[in-house]
Amino acid sequence: MQVTVMGAGSFGTSLAKLLAENGHPVTLWSHSADTLDAIAKTGENSIYLPGIALPKMNLTQDAQNALQNAELVVTAVPAQATRSVWEKHREHLPKNALVVSASKGIEIGTNALVSDILLEVLGAEYRNKLFFLSGPSFAKEIALRIPTAITIAGWDAARIPEIQKSFHNEYFRVYGTADVNGVELGGALKNVMAIATGISDGLGLGNNSRAAIITRGLAEIARMGKRMGADPMTFMGLAGIGDLVLTCTGDLSRNRSVGIRLGKGEKLKEIVDSMRMVAEGVPTTRSAYELAQRLGIELPIMEGVYSILYEDKPAKTAIIELMSRRLKFEGE
């Protein structure tokens, strides 16, 4: 199968490596000349995935060239860039290509999931050719061939086995589901919770606090998922609790790192300006907050993270407010 990966960040590069090693001819597209130059010269993505040798693949900044013969397209650009990238390049996408999104987030302004964006931009005729990858998977560990299990969601469940076979190998196992909204929400909102656990860790609050945030964070994700028609069981699986635990506890988590630095007193602008890689939880916090307000859903942890990121509330104050809320039964 002829594969094109749109986006040469750490995750796009790791998926391109995996697919190439699975025997697929792979073209890797990036808007960034320095990233592609680094790969061409050193045989590794020294900017986003240093120290890991990459197999042979075609490298290009020309999206038309990248997409013209693609049978499988992996879109791995940041969630906030998904609309602009595909509005610019949708005319080059072959009509029969299958599209797998590896982006996680909720769009600022529209509060749209990535699935909503792609369906809107590419058109209803692509609905049964769109699939969404999520689950506990750090790019570096995939590239190092460390055993990983993820989930692929799609509206056309009959075509999921075809996608599974493309990605599956001895270290990468792929499960399928038809719950697109659940997989999308789990992948987006766990980044907000990772910032929350990072803040807790940065404040030195310990394991009890981290466990409480993860557990109640899952309840908040499920609450929003229920309102948006997701299957509650999705949040008990890889795209839910699996990805949540990984991102909230793993040292490779960019979102957790942002939270740790906030907890230690750094300002958001300083943190974001110092990072080349995107921490999707930062813009998604704003979008999730606005979406919850619109839907009338109470999400105290997300609201607390929003107040720290966008209202400059001291992290300690936000924690005290969380702990001082009205006592409840756990199922409320």
Which residues are annotated as catalytic? 190
3-state secondary structure of 38: helix
b (16+ CB within 10 A) / e for 208-237? ebbebbbebbbebbbbbbeeeebbeebbeb
d(CA 137, CA 317): 33
3-state secondary structure of 100: strand
Residue 174 phi, psi (nearest 5): -120, 125
d(CA 322, CA 316): 10
